Chain A
Amino acid sequence: MNFDFSDDLKQLRDQARRFLSDQCTSAVVRRSADGQELFAAELWREIGAMGWIGAAIPETFGGAGLGYEGLCVLAEEIGRVVAPVPFGSSAYLAAEAILTAGSDAQRREWLPKLADGSAIGCFALSEGSGNPEPGAIHARAVGGYLKGSKWPVADGGIAGICVVVARDESGQPGLFLSDLAGARRRNLKTVDPARNHARLDFDAAPVEKLGGGWGSVQRVLDRAAILFAFEQVGGADACLTMARDYALDRYAFGRPIGSFQAIKHKLADMYVALELARSNAYYGAWALGADATDLPLAAATARVSATEAFELASKENIQTHGGIGFTWEVDCHLFYRRSKQLALGIGSAPFWKHRLVDLLETRNAA
Chain B
Amino acid sequence: MDFNDTPEEAAFRAEARAFLTANAKPRAGARPVLRQGGLDADAVVRCKKWQAKKADAGFAGLTWPKRFGGREASPIVQVIWNQEENEFVVPRGLYEIGLGMCIPTMMAYATDVYLDRYVRPALRGEEVWCQLFSEPAGGSDLAALRTRAERDGGDWVINGQKIWTSGAHLGDFGIIVVRTDPNVPKHEGLTFFFLDMKSPGIEVRPIHQMSGARHFNEVFLTDVRVPDSQRLGAVGQGWRVSLTTLMTERLAVGDVQRPEVDDLVELSRRLRIDGKPAIQNAAVRERIAEWHARSQGLKFTRFRTMTALSKGETPGPENSIHKLVNASKLQDIASYGLDLMGAAGLVMDDDLAEAYAMFQSALLSSPGMRIAGGSDEILRNIIAERVLGLPPDIRADKGIPFNQVPTGRR
Question: For A123, what are the chain B residues with a Cβ–Cβ distance below 8 Å?
Answer: none
Question: For B9, what are the chain A residues with a Cβ–Cβ distance below 8 Å?
Answer: 1
- Cross-chain contact A354 with B289 (CB below 8 angstroms): yes
Interface string of B32-73 (1 = CB under 8 A from A): 000000000000000000000000000000000000000000
A27: interface (CB < 8 Å):
no
Question: For A259, what are the chain B residues with a Cβ–Cβ distance below 8 Å?
Answer: 390-394
Q: Complex Cα distance A261/B394, Å?
A: 10
- Cross-chain contact B3 with A354 (CB below 8 angstroms): no
Minimum distance in angstroms from A270 CB to a CB of chain B = 9
- Cross-chain contact A261 with B393 (CB below 8 angstroms): yes
B74: interface (CB < 8 Å):
no
Binds A, one of B14-22, B203-211, B377-385: B377-385
Partner of B296 from A4, A265, A283, A357 at Cβ < 8 Å: A283
B301: interface (CB < 8 Å):
yes
Partner of A3 from B265, B296, B306, B325 at Cβ < 8 Å: B306
A5: interface (CB < 8 Å):
yes
Partner of B384 from A255, A268, A301 at Cβ < 8 Å: A268
- Cross-chain contact A4 with B1 (CB below 8 angstroms): yes
Nearest A residue to B390 via CB reads A258
Contact A3 B303, CB 8 Å, known A265-B377, A268-B383: yes
Report the interface size for chain B: residues with CB under 8 A from the other chain.
Answer: 50
Interface of B is mostly: helix
Minimum distance in angstroms from B378 CB to a CB of chain A = 11
Nearest B residue to A289 via CB reads B1
- Cross-chain contact B321 with A275 (CB below 8 angstroms): yes
A99: interface (CB < 8 Å):
no
Question: For A289, what are the chain B residues with a Cβ–Cβ distance below 8 Å?
Answer: 1
- Cross-chain contact B285 with A353 (CB below 8 angstroms): yes
Chain A residues numbered 279-316 whose CB sits less than 8 Å from any CB in chain B: 279-280, 282-283, 285-286, 289, 300-301, 304-305, 308
Question: For A277, what are the chain B residues with a Cβ–Cβ distance below 8 Å?
Answer: 297
Contact A1 B310, CB 8 Å, known A353-B289, A353-B290, A361-B279: yes
Partner of B297 from A69, A263, A305 at Cβ < 8 Å: A305
B339: interface (CB < 8 Å):
no
- Cross-chain contact A264 with B385 (CB below 8 angstroms): yes
Q: Complex Cα distance A152/B331, Å?
A: 41
Given contacts A276-B294, A360-B292, 20 further A-B contacts (CB under 8 A): A1-B3, A1-B5, A2-B4, A3-B304, A256-B391, A258-B390, A259-B391, A259-B394, A264-B380, A264-B385, A268-B388, A271-B383, A272-B324, A272-B383, A276-B301, A279-B299, A282-B303, A283-B296, A304-B289, A354-B289
Closest 4 CB pairs of A and B: A276-B297, A264-B384, A353-B289, A279-B300
